[in-house]
Structure 1
Protein backbone atom coordinates (compact mmCIF):
# COMPACT_ATOMS: atom_id res chain seq x y z
CA UNK A 1 0.00 0.00 0.00
CA UNK A 2 2.83 2.42 0.85
CA UNK A 3 4.35 1.73 -2.58
CA UNK A 4 1.08 2.70 -4.30
CA UNK A 5 0.89 5.94 -2.32
CA UNK A 6 4.51 6.74 -3.18
CA UNK A 7 3.87 6.10 -6.90
CA UNK A 8 0.72 8.20 -6.77
CA UNK A 9 2.64 11.04 -5.14
CA UNK A 10 5.25 10.95 -7.88
CA UNK A 11 2.67 10.81 -10.68
CA UNK A 12 0.45 13.54 -9.22
CA UNK A 13 2.39 16.07 -7.16
CA UNK A 14 0.36 17.76 -4.44
CA UNK A 15 0.47 21.20 -6.05
CA UNK A 16 -0.65 19.95 -9.44
CA UNK A 17 -4.35 20.43 -10.11
CA UNK A 18 -6.26 20.08 -13.34
CA UNK A 19 -6.82 23.38 -15.13
CA UNK A 20 -10.41 24.56 -15.21
CA UNK A 21 -12.21 24.89 -18.52
CA UNK A 22 -11.55 28.27 -20.10
CA UNK A 23 -15.27 28.97 -19.70
CA UNK A 24 -14.63 28.95 -15.93
CA UNK A 25 -11.79 31.50 -16.11
CA UNK A 26 -13.59 34.88 -15.83
CA UNK A 27 -10.64 36.93 -17.12
CA UNK A 28 -10.88 34.92 -20.36
CA UNK A 29 -14.62 34.22 -20.59
CA UNK A 30 -15.91 37.74 -19.93
CA UNK A 31 -13.78 39.64 -22.48
CA UNK A 32 -14.36 36.89 -25.05
CA UNK A 33 -18.11 37.26 -24.47
CA UNK A 34 -17.79 41.05 -24.95
CA UNK A 35 -16.05 40.54 -28.31
CA UNK A 36 -18.78 38.11 -29.41
CA UNK A 37 -21.54 40.51 -28.31
CA UNK A 38 -19.96 43.49 -30.07
CA UNK A 39 -19.76 41.47 -33.28
CA UNK A 40 -23.40 40.41 -32.94
CA UNK A 41 -24.52 44.01 -32.44
CA UNK A 42 -22.42 45.25 -35.38
CA UNK A 43 -23.82 42.45 -37.58
CA UNK A 44 -27.41 43.51 -36.86
CA UNK A 45 -27.13 47.30 -36.65
CA UNK A 46 -26.26 49.27 -39.78
CA UNK A 47 -25.32 52.43 -37.88
CA UNK A 48 -22.74 50.74 -35.61
CA UNK A 49 -19.58 48.90 -36.52
CA UNK A 50 -17.14 46.75 -34.66
CA UNK A 51 -13.75 48.18 -33.74
CA UNK A 52 -12.06 45.43 -35.72
CA UNK A 53 -8.44 46.07 -34.76
CA UNK A 54 -9.34 46.61 -31.11
CA UNK A 55 -11.24 43.31 -31.16
CA UNK A 56 -8.34 41.46 -32.78
CA UNK A 57 -5.99 43.01 -30.23
CA UNK A 58 -8.26 41.87 -27.42
CA UNK A 59 -8.34 38.32 -28.79
CA UNK A 60 -4.53 38.28 -28.99
CA UNK A 61 -4.30 39.58 -25.43
CA UNK A 62 -6.68 36.85 -24.27
CA UNK A 63 -4.63 34.16 -26.02
CA UNK A 64 -1.46 35.47 -24.41
CA UNK A 65 -3.10 35.57 -20.99
CA UNK A 66 -4.47 32.04 -21.40
CA UNK A 67 -0.97 30.90 -22.42
CA UNK A 68 0.43 32.50 -19.26
CA UNK A 69 -2.13 30.52 -17.24
CA UNK A 70 -0.78 27.31 -18.75
CA UNK A 71 -3.23 26.77 -21.62
CA UNK A 72 -1.68 25.76 -24.92
CA UNK A 73 -2.77 27.18 -28.26
CA UNK A 74 -4.43 23.87 -29.16
CA UNK A 75 -6.51 24.00 -25.94
CA UNK A 76 -7.53 27.59 -26.68
CA UNK A 77 -8.41 26.75 -30.28
CA UNK A 78 -10.44 23.71 -29.17
CA UNK A 79 -12.39 25.90 -26.74
CA UNK A 80 -13.11 28.61 -29.30
CA UNK A 81 -14.02 26.16 -32.08
CA UNK A 82 -16.15 23.89 -29.87
CA UNK A 83 -19.75 23.64 -31.09
CA UNK A 84 -20.83 23.15 -27.47
CA UNK A 85 -19.06 26.32 -26.34
CA UNK A 86 -20.41 28.27 -29.33
CA UNK A 87 -23.97 27.19 -28.46
CA UNK A 88 -23.43 28.07 -24.79
CA UNK A 89 -22.03 31.49 -25.67
CA UNK A 90 -24.90 32.13 -28.11
CA UNK A 91 -27.48 31.21 -25.46
CA UNK A 92 -25.75 33.50 -22.96
CA UNK A 93 -25.79 36.33 -25.50
CA UNK A 94 -29.40 35.79 -26.50
CA UNK A 95 -30.38 35.88 -22.82
CA UNK A 96 -28.56 39.19 -22.29
CA UNK A 97 -30.10 40.67 -25.43
CA UNK A 98 -33.62 39.54 -24.49
CA UNK A 99 -33.20 40.95 -20.97
CA UNK A 100 -32.12 44.23 -22.60
CA UNK A 101 -35.18 44.39 -24.84
CA UNK A 102 -33.35 43.47 -28.05
CA UNK A 103 -35.29 41.66 -30.75
CA UNK A 104 -33.87 39.95 -33.83
CA UNK A 105 -37.02 41.15 -35.62
CA UNK A 106 -36.12 44.81 -35.00
CA UNK A 107 -32.56 45.84 -35.92
CA UNK A 108 -33.04 49.23 -34.23
CA UNK A 109 -33.13 47.45 -30.86
CA UNK A 110 -29.58 46.22 -31.54
CA UNK A 111 -28.58 49.80 -32.32
CA UNK A 112 -30.17 51.12 -29.12
CA UNK A 113 -28.44 48.40 -27.09
CA UNK A 114 -25.10 49.13 -28.76
CA UNK A 115 -25.39 52.90 -28.26
CA UNK A 116 -26.22 52.34 -24.58
CA UNK A 117 -23.16 50.09 -24.22
CA UNK A 118 -20.98 52.74 -25.91
CA UNK A 119 -22.41 55.41 -23.58
CA UNK A 120 -21.63 53.23 -20.53
CA UNK A 121 -18.15 52.55 -21.92
CA UNK A 122 -18.74 48.90 -21.11
CA UNK A 123 -16.53 46.09 -22.37
CA UNK A 124 -19.03 45.59 -25.22
CA UNK A 125 -19.35 49.31 -25.94
CA UNK A 126 -15.59 49.79 -26.09
CA UNK A 127 -15.56 47.39 -29.04
CA UNK A 128 -18.24 49.32 -31.00
CA UNK A 129 -18.18 52.56 -32.97
CA UNK A 130 -20.71 54.72 -34.78
CA UNK A 131 -20.39 54.51 -38.56
Structure 2
Protein backbone atom coordinates (compact mmCIF):
# COMPACT_ATOMS: atom_id res chain seq x y z
CA UNK A 1 0.00 0.00 0.00
CA UNK A 2 2.84 2.39 0.88
CA UNK A 3 4.45 1.62 -2.47
CA UNK A 4 1.20 2.43 -4.30
CA UNK A 5 0.80 5.75 -2.45
CA UNK A 6 4.45 6.65 -3.08
CA UNK A 7 4.05 5.84 -6.79
CA UNK A 8 0.90 7.94 -7.05
CA UNK A 9 2.54 10.83 -5.24
CA UNK A 10 5.63 10.63 -7.46
CA UNK A 11 3.47 10.53 -10.59
CA UNK A 12 1.49 13.58 -9.49
CA UNK A 13 4.67 15.54 -8.74
CA UNK A 14 6.15 14.65 -12.13
CA UNK A 15 2.86 15.54 -13.88
CA UNK A 16 2.79 18.91 -12.13
CA UNK A 17 6.41 19.62 -13.06
CA UNK A 18 6.08 18.79 -16.76
CA UNK A 19 4.05 21.90 -17.71
CA UNK A 20 6.49 24.12 -15.84
CA UNK A 21 9.41 22.56 -17.72
CA UNK A 22 7.64 22.88 -21.08
CA UNK A 23 6.63 26.49 -20.46
CA UNK A 24 7.62 28.91 -23.20
CA UNK A 25 8.50 32.52 -22.41
CA UNK A 26 5.42 34.74 -22.28
CA UNK A 27 6.75 36.63 -25.29
CA UNK A 28 6.27 33.43 -27.30
CA UNK A 29 2.89 32.37 -25.85
CA UNK A 30 0.61 32.73 -28.89
CA UNK A 31 -2.78 33.03 -27.18
CA UNK A 32 -1.61 35.81 -24.87
CA UNK A 33 0.32 37.71 -27.52
CA UNK A 34 -2.49 37.49 -30.08
CA UNK A 35 -4.92 39.01 -27.60
CA UNK A 36 -2.54 41.77 -26.59
CA UNK A 37 -2.00 42.63 -30.26
CA UNK A 38 -5.77 42.65 -30.82
CA UNK A 39 -6.23 44.95 -27.83
CA UNK A 40 -3.62 47.33 -29.25
CA UNK A 41 -5.33 47.27 -32.67
CA UNK A 42 -8.63 48.16 -30.98
CA UNK A 43 -6.95 50.93 -28.98
CA UNK A 44 -5.44 52.47 -32.12
CA UNK A 45 -8.78 52.27 -33.96
CA UNK A 46 -10.70 53.96 -31.15
CA UNK A 47 -8.08 56.71 -30.86
CA UNK A 48 -8.02 57.44 -34.60
CA UNK A 49 -11.71 56.97 -35.46
CA UNK A 50 -14.17 59.37 -33.89
CA UNK A 51 -17.18 57.19 -34.65
CA UNK A 52 -15.89 54.14 -32.77
CA UNK A 53 -15.39 53.87 -29.03
CA UNK A 54 -13.91 51.30 -26.67
CA UNK A 55 -15.82 48.89 -24.48
CA UNK A 56 -13.69 49.81 -21.47
CA UNK A 57 -15.35 47.60 -18.83
CA UNK A 58 -15.26 44.62 -21.19
CA UNK A 59 -11.61 45.30 -22.03
CA UNK A 60 -10.76 45.50 -18.35
CA UNK A 61 -12.50 42.19 -17.64
CA UNK A 62 -10.70 40.56 -20.56
CA UNK A 63 -7.34 41.83 -19.25
CA UNK A 64 -8.08 40.18 -15.90
CA UNK A 65 -9.17 36.98 -17.66
CA UNK A 66 -5.94 36.98 -19.67
CA UNK A 67 -3.91 37.31 -16.48
CA UNK A 68 -5.84 34.38 -14.97
CA UNK A 69 -5.15 32.39 -18.13
CA UNK A 70 -1.41 33.05 -17.77
CA UNK A 71 -1.52 32.08 -14.10
CA UNK A 72 -3.40 28.87 -14.96
CA UNK A 73 -0.67 28.08 -17.49
CA UNK A 74 1.83 28.18 -14.64
CA UNK A 75 3.27 31.67 -15.07
CA UNK A 76 4.00 33.47 -11.81
CA UNK A 77 2.82 36.99 -11.05
CA UNK A 78 6.48 38.06 -11.23
CA UNK A 79 6.82 36.59 -14.75
CA UNK A 80 3.58 38.24 -15.86
CA UNK A 81 4.60 41.62 -14.42
CA UNK A 82 8.05 41.40 -15.99
CA UNK A 83 6.49 40.62 -19.38
CA UNK A 84 4.00 43.49 -19.12
CA UNK A 85 6.75 45.89 -17.99
CA UNK A 86 9.17 44.84 -20.75
CA UNK A 87 9.80 47.73 -23.14
CA UNK A 88 11.03 45.26 -25.74
CA UNK A 89 7.86 43.15 -25.59
CA UNK A 90 5.65 46.23 -25.59
CA UNK A 91 7.45 47.55 -28.69
CA UNK A 92 7.08 44.16 -30.41
CA UNK A 93 3.34 44.02 -29.67
CA UNK A 94 2.82 47.62 -30.82
CA UNK A 95 4.80 46.93 -34.02
CA UNK A 96 2.71 43.82 -34.76
CA UNK A 97 -0.49 45.82 -34.28
CA UNK A 98 0.76 48.62 -36.55
CA UNK A 99 1.75 46.06 -39.17
CA UNK A 100 -1.75 44.53 -39.00
CA UNK A 101 -3.37 47.94 -39.34
CA UNK A 102 -1.16 48.92 -42.28
CA UNK A 103 -1.77 45.60 -44.07
CA UNK A 104 -5.50 46.22 -43.66
CA UNK A 105 -5.44 49.72 -45.12
CA UNK A 106 -4.81 52.07 -42.19
CA UNK A 107 -3.04 55.24 -43.26
CA UNK A 108 -1.58 57.83 -40.92
CA UNK A 109 -3.78 60.91 -40.82
CA UNK A 110 -6.70 59.12 -42.50
CA UNK A 111 -9.28 58.58 -39.75
CA UNK A 112 -11.71 56.88 -42.14
CA UNK A 113 -9.17 54.15 -42.89
CA UNK A 114 -9.14 53.28 -39.17
CA UNK A 115 -12.94 53.48 -39.05
CA UNK A 116 -13.20 50.99 -41.93
CA UNK A 117 -10.94 48.57 -40.07
CA UNK A 118 -12.88 49.08 -36.86
CA UNK A 119 -16.24 48.45 -38.54
CA UNK A 120 -14.84 45.32 -40.21
CA UNK A 121 -13.45 44.05 -36.90
CA UNK A 122 -16.80 44.65 -35.16
CA UNK A 123 -18.74 42.98 -37.99
CA UNK A 124 -16.47 39.93 -38.03
CA UNK A 125 -16.71 39.62 -34.26
CA UNK A 126 -12.94 39.39 -34.01
CA UNK A 127 -11.07 39.73 -30.74
CA UNK A 128 -10.18 43.32 -31.64
CA UNK A 129 -13.77 43.97 -32.66
CA UNK A 130 -15.04 42.71 -29.32
CA UNK A 131 -13.27 45.65 -27.64
CA UNK A 132 -15.00 48.19 -29.91
CA UNK A 133 -18.45 49.70 -30.30
CA UNK A 134 -19.78 52.08 -32.97
CA UNK A 135 -21.03 55.36 -31.52
TM range (shorter): 0.7 to 0.9
Count of paired positions: 119
Please state how far the C-alpha of 1:19 moved relative to its aligned partner. 2.5
Please state how far the C-alpha of 1:24 moved relative to its aligned partner. 1.6
Q: In structure 1, list runs of 5 or more residues that go unmatched.
A: 1-12
Alignment correspondent of 2:5: none
Structure 1 segment 110-125 matched on structure 2, within 5 A: 110-125=114-129
The 2-side partners of 1:82 and 1:97 are apart by 23
Which of 74, 81, 84 is matched with 1:77 structurally? 81
Where 2:53 maps in the other structure, the secondary structure is strand
The 2-side partners of 1:108 and 1:78 are apart by 36
More deviation, 19-28/88-97:
19-28
Alignment correspondent of 1:92: 96
Higher helix share: 2
Alignment correspondent of 1:9: none
For the aligned residues, what is the CA RMSD?
Answer: 1.6
Give the structure-1-normalised TM-score.
0.83
- Give the ranges of 4+ consecutive aligned residues of structure 1 lying more than 6 Å apart after TM superposition: none
Which of 7, 10, 21 is matched with 2:25 structurally? 21
